[in-house]
Amino acid sequence: MTILLIYIAIFIGAFLVVKFITSRLEQRHDFTSLKTVTFGDESAVTANRTASVISIVAIFLIWGAFTGSKLTPIHAPGPYQGKGQFDYVVEGPDGQRDTASVFWQVEDKKGAAEDLEIAEGDGFALNDAINIIKYRSGQLRWDGNDAVSRKDGARIVEVDGQATDFDPNQRDADGNLVQDRPRFRIDNGSVTMTDKGALLITPYQGWQMEPIWLPSPEAVWSRIVEIASEGYQNNTLLQHLGWSLFRVVAGFFFGALIGIPLGYAMGLSDWFRGWFDPIVEFMRPVPPLALIPLVIIWAGIGEVGKVILLFLAALWIMTIAARAGVSGVNITKVHAAYSLGASRWQIMRHVIVPNSLPEIFTGARVAMGVCWGTVVAAELVAAEKGAGMMIMVASKFQLTDIVIMGIILIGIIGYGIDILMRRAERWLVPWKGRS
Partner 1 sequence: MSGLVLDAISMRFDLPNGDHVQALKNVSLDIKTGELMSVLGPSGCGKTTLLNIIAGFLAPTEGAVTLNGHLVTGPHQERGMVFQKGALFEWMNVRENVAFGPRMNGVPKSESAGKVDHLLEVVGLHDFKEKAIYELSGGMQQRVALARCLANEPDVILMDEPLGALDALTREKMQGLVLKLWKETGKTIILITHSVEEALLLGERLIVMAPRPGRIHKEYNLPFAEMGVGADLREVKHHAEYALTREEILNMIWDMEEEIMGRTEGAA
Is residue 343 within the footprint of partner 1 (CB under 8 A)? Answer: yes
Instruction: State which of residues 350, 422, 423, 426 lies at the interface with partner 1 (CB under 8 A).
Output: 350
In the complex, minimum distance from the CB of residue 259 to partner 1, in angstroms, rounded to a whole number: 21
E strand or H helix that includes residue 428 = helix 400-428
In the complex, minimum distance from the CB of residue 324 to partner 1, in angstroms, rounded to a whole number: 17
Strand partners, 84: 104
Is residue 328 within the footprint of partner 1 (CB under 8 A)? Answer: no
- Which CB atom, from 67 or from 355, has the smaller least distance to partner 1? 355
- Sequence length of the chain is 435
Is residue 194 within the footprint of partner 1 (CB under 8 A)? Answer: no
- Which CB atom, from 177 or from 337, has the smaller least distance to partner 1? 337
- Torsion, Cα 316 320 321 324, to 10 degrees, reads 180
CB atoms inside a 10 Å sphere around CB 392: 19
Instruction: State which of residues 348, 357, 377, 382 lies at the interface with partner 1 (CB under 8 A).
Output: 357
Applying CB under 8 A, the span of 27-35, 108-116, 147-155, 350-358 interacting with partner 1 comes to 350-358
Instruction: State which of residues 337, 366, 382, 393 lies at the interface with partner 1 (CB under 8 A).
Output: 337
Is residue 354 within the footprint of partner 1 (CB under 8 A)? Answer: yes
- Which CB atom, from 335 or from 423, has the smaller least distance to partner 1? 335
The site map against partner 1 for 370-409 (x = CB under 8 A) is: ----------------------------------------
Applying CB under 8 A, the span of 33-41, 90-98, 168-176, 325-333 interacting with partner 1 comes to 325-333
Nearest-angstrom CA–CA distance, 232 and 325: 44
Burial class (CB in 10 A: 0-12, 13-18, 19+), 327: middle
Is residue 339 within the footprint of partner 1 (CB under 8 A)? Answer: yes
In the complex, minimum distance from the CB of residue 338 to partner 1, in angstroms, rounded to a whole number: 4
Strand partners, 209: none
- Which CB atom, from 70 or from 349, has the smaller least distance to partner 1? 349
Strand partners, 100: 88
Residues 6+ apart with CB under 8 A from 421: 361, 364, 365, 368
Give the SS3 label for residue 85. Answer: strand
Is residue 200 within the footprint of partner 1 (CB under 8 A)? Answer: no
CB atoms inside a 10 Å sphere around CB 20: 10
| Helices (runs of H) and strands (runs of E) counted in the chain | 13, 9
Angle of helix 217-230 relative to helix 49-65, nearest 10 degrees? 90
Instruction: State which of residues 122, 330, 411, 424 lies at the interface with partner 1 (CB under 8 A).
Output: 330
Nearest-angstrom CA–CA distance, 130 and 139: 8
In the complex, minimum distance from the CB of residue 331 to partner 1, in angstroms, rounded to a whole number: 9
Kindly state the number of chain residues that form the binding site for partner 1, as judged by CB under 8 A. Answer: 23
Is residue 346 within the footprint of partner 1 (CB under 8 A)? Answer: yes
Is residue 183 within the footprint of partner 1 (CB under 8 A)? Answer: no
Stretch 412-431 residues interacting with partner 1 (CB under 8 A): 429-431
- Which CB atom, from 32 or from 343, has the smaller least distance to partner 1? 343
Instruction: State which of residues 27, 234, 341, 397 lies at the interface with partner 1 (CB under 8 A).
Output: 341
Nearest-angstrom CA–CA distance, 323 and 273: 9
- Which CB atom, from 35 or from 349, has the smaller least distance to partner 1? 349
Nearest-angstrom CA–CA distance, 401 and 263: 44
Nearest-angstrom CA–CA distance, 355 and 367: 20
In the complex, minimum distance from the CB of residue 353 to partner 1, in angstroms, rounded to a whole number: 9
* Phi, psi angles (nearest 5°) of residue 122: -125, -175
In DSSP notation, 389-413 reads HHHHHHHHTT-HHHHHHHHHHHHHH
Is residue 348 within the footprint of partner 1 (CB under 8 A)? Answer: no
Residues lying near partner 1 in the complex (CB under 8 A): 330, 332-333, 335-343, 346, 350-351, 354-355, 357, 429-431, 434-435
